[in-house]
Chains A and B, each alone.
Chain A
Amino acid sequence: MPGNSSAAPGSTARKAFSFTHNQSLLLVFCCTLFGGVAQYLFKISTTHAAFTFENGSVNWLAIVANYPLWIGLACYGIFTLLITLALRDGELSVLYPVISLTYIWVVFLSVLVLHEPLTPWKLAGVALICLGVAFLGSGGKKPAQ
């Protein structure tokens, strides 16, 4: 396979650096911002000029030209990368509640930018989900160090 260099990538990068607790928290916080923006971009990509699943055929050219989709996917990629890095050194039960901030950002963007109606039901529902996600994060048994 051309371009497949023999130097094994990744193998030297393992644990070449590590984050403190606060750095992990900051990473996850940044990651939720990227996650929220990614969702917003996904939503506008589907209403973007030529995003057509519906006429039975997929317009590939339109998908390639759909820039919100690609920027959104890039943001999502960054989200995944940051979360992986943060989870490597941080404690899941601390980071999970922060991850659920993504839900809050998405509701903010939906209401402020996409002008979706904000109802008390929505707020309460999202609050319960955030709480649930926080609970899940603390649910795994981890031996005390």
Chain B
Amino acid sequence: MKTPIESMLLVLFASFLGSFGAVFLKWGAGRMSLNLKSMLLNWRLAAGVALYLISTVFYLMALKHGELSILFPMVSLGYVWTLLWARLFFGEPFTGRKLGGLALIFAGLIVLNLGRS
């Protein structure tokens, strides 16, 4: 079974959308109080959940063709996006360990794709 480039692009897009889901959830969670009504009326939380759902649809479309053992590890690209947004939107600092983690994930993704049948 081959993993087509289209599937990989779909995973890339899904991980991108999903990372924005995390941004909205974080944004919404900061304004959250623990009662159902305020949670349902919190549009940021709703947007976060919606982005996750849409990203799941793209991920499933990607999975239709290609190997799970290639496509699922590619979801880890989401970590890379999330770190960027955390820096940009929430001012969370890059640390040496975070950058090291990013480098390792990138290296892993490249090595993984060298093994694409």
Q: Which residues of A contact B (CB under 8 A)?
A: 4, 8-11, 14, 39-40, 42-43, 45-47, 51, 53, 69, 103, 106-107, 109-111, 114, 116-122, 124-141
Contacts and interface: CB of A to CB of B under 8 A. Distances in A.
Given A46-B60, A125-B108, A132 B34 contact: no
Give me the 6 closest cross-chain CB pairs, A-B, nearest first.
A121-B115, A125-B112, A128-B108, A132-B104, A135-B101, A139-B98
Contact of A133 (B61, B76, B103, B114): B76
B47 interface: no
A128 B100 CA distance: 11
Contacts of A43: 63, 68
Contacts of A47: 64
Given A129-B73, A132-B76, A136-B101, A46 B115 contact: no
B11 to A, nearest CB: 12
B24 to A, nearest CB: 16
26 contacts: A4-B37, A8-B35, A10-B35, A39-B72, A47-B64, A106-B68, A107-B69, A114-B68, A116-B67, A119-B115, A124-B112, A125-B108, A129-B73, A129-B108, A131-B104, A132-B105, A132-B107, A133-B101, A135-B98, A136-B79, A136-B83, A136-B102, A136-B105, A139-B95, A139-B97, A139-B101
Nearest to B104: A132
A69 B106 CA distance: 30
A39 B104 contact: no
Contact of B112 (A109, A126, A137, A140): A126
Contacts of A118: 69
B64 A121 contact: no
Contact of B98 (A10, A107, A136): A136
B101 A40 contact: no
A11 B34 contact: yes
B88 interface: no
Interface string B70-85: 1011001001000100
A71 to B, nearest CB: 14
A138 B100 CA distance: 10
Nearest to A45: B60
A75 to B, nearest CB: 13
Nearest to A134: B101
Interface string B38-60: 00000000000000000000011
Between B68, B114, B115, the greatest number of chain A beta carbons within 10 A of the residue's beta carbon is seen for B68
